[in-house]
């Protein structure tokens, strides 16, 4: 059975700032000071440019996987090997169109 990776679309229609929504959704990992710093840096640079944010959960990134494997091969506790990929769009995103016709958003 193939695992379907549901996309989370964060847009201005949710009634609040898209960055606040992203921060709330990522709250469990925002305790890491480097992650908070990086997210705030992204927010300051893209605040007026990004209308929608698409979060791709359980993404398998080759670079992350290689670094992860190298670092955690000597540890006794191994966290999840998945990461989340975040896409920023200057226009509103339609979730159905994004899944059926992803080339329209490239």
Least confident of 17-21, 44-48, 101-105: 17-21
- CB 27: neighbour CB atoms within 10 A? 9
pTM: 0.62
Tell me if 61 sits within 8 A of 81, measured CB to CB: no
Whole-angstrom distance, CA of residue 94 vs CA of residue 8: 11
What are the angstrom distances between the C-alpha of 44 and each of 49, 60, 101?
Answer: 10, 27, 30
Please, what is the end-to-end C-alpha distance for the chain in angstroms? Answer: 28
Q: What is the pLDDT of residue 1?
A: 34
Nearest to 83, CA basis, from 102, 47, 55: 55
Average pLDDT value for the chain? 74
Specify if 84 maps to a domain: yes
Supply the range of the domain harboring residue 24: 8-105
Q: To the nearest whole percent, how much of the chain has pLDDT over 90?
A: 0
- Compare 46 and 27 and report the one with higher pLDDT: 46
Specify if 94 maps to a domain: yes
pLDDT for residue 44 is more than 80 = yes
Total number of domains constituting the chain: 1
Whole-angstrom distance, CA of residue 94 vs CA of residue 47: 20
Specify if 43 maps to a domain: yes
């Amino acid at each position: 059975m193939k695992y379907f990776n549901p996309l989370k679309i964060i847009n201005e229609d949710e009634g609040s700032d898209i960055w606040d929504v992203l921060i709330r959704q990522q709250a469990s990992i925002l305790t890491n000071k480097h992650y908070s710093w990086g997210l705030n840096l992204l927010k300051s640079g893209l605040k007026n440019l990004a209308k929608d944010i698409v979060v791709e959960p359980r993404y398998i990134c080759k670079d992350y996987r290689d670094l992860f494997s190298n670092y955690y091969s000597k540890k006794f506790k191994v966290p999840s090997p998945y990461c989340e990929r975040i896409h920023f769009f200057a226009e509103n995103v339609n979730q159905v169109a994004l899944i059926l016709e992803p080339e329209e958003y490239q």
